[in-house]
Amino acid sequence: MGANTVIEKMPTIILNVNDLESALIQHIAQDQAGATVIDLQQPWGGGNESDMTELLRERRDELAETVLLIEAPYANLERTLNVMGKQVVVIDHHLYHTHNNETLDLRSDLSSLDQVLLFLGIDPLTQPGSAQLPPCLGLVTDSGGEIDLDALAHLVSANDRGHIPLLAHHINELDESGKLPPGVDQCELLWDLRLNEMTLTHTMAIDGGIAELADPKVFADKKQALENLFNQAMDYWTRIGKEARFAILALAVTNAMTLVCGS
């Protein structure tokens, strides 16, 4: 089987790149698997259905026979793709409430990222360049750059399925099983990932918070406050029972976000 055959069979990935999970799907599918990825360009938490349908019509020629429609539960979108003769694979794991107060239950134990990896048959561990975090995620501190893509995919999936508590749990688990590189601090990694998530989703006043931190004086002030907060959390962390740790960590991170971004 030649390389062309493989590429022809590769599905097109259709999604909105507006959070950590979708950014990582885009990176792996496009840069590692060589699939065409179409970003529907709608913001997190909602989208304009006719804009998305229009965009798909414009980019019709780029669509493979099979398309993965990821977290885009819009009837018109699916219908448009069906009319084009495409085989649509719906990838999702969320419970939606539609305008008509109806429920669309697409829940799954697997995140969309997990499902895409399974569908494409990708094991992030064996991908070339897996020692580096995708530059598209633009992690802000050094700690994140040292984690491999397999661990990253694992954590991004946890963040998407269970938010901060599940993310904290999996960071702790990776650390205890020796799968985090030496020097990667649990709190710092949690912070990196959540900061990226908030930047991509534009949730909370994160952009304003980051802009403010560019001022060295503001940064120095907040850095000290953040350090105090984390030291306090780590102090609790070492003294309390294991089962209470995640709650403390989640609380510390939430407080830190408020400190940086405002409430």
For Mn ion, the binding residues (CB under 5 A) are 21, 112, 160
Whose CA is closest to 33, among 1, 10, 63, 3? 10
Nearer to Mn ion, 15 or 174 (CB): 15
Output the CA–CA distances (angstroms, integers) from residue 135 to 117, 144, 259, in the order listed.
Answer: 19, 11, 27
The CB-of-111 to Mn ion minimum distance in angstroms stands at 6
The DSSP output letter for 11 is: P
Task: Give the nearest distance from C-beta 224 to Mn ion in angstroms.
Answer: 35
Residues in the chain: 263
Of 239, 159, 235, the C-alpha closest to 194 is: 159
Closest by CA to 261, choosing from 206, 219, 200, 213, is: 206
> What is the closest distance, in whole angstroms, from the C-beta atom of residue 78 to Mn ion in the complex?
18
Q: For Mn ion, give the closer residue by CB, 160 or 192.
A: 160
> Smallest distance, Å, CB 71 to Mn ion?
6
**21 or 192: CB nearest Mn ion:** 21
Q: CB-wise, 24 or 189, nearer to Mn ion?
A: 24
Residue nearest to Mn ion (CB): 160
> Which residue number, 115 or 130, has a Cβ lying nearer to Mn ion?
115
Q: What are residue 231's phi and psi, to 5 degrees? A: -60, -40
**Least distance from Mn ion to the Cβ atom of residue 112, Å:** 5
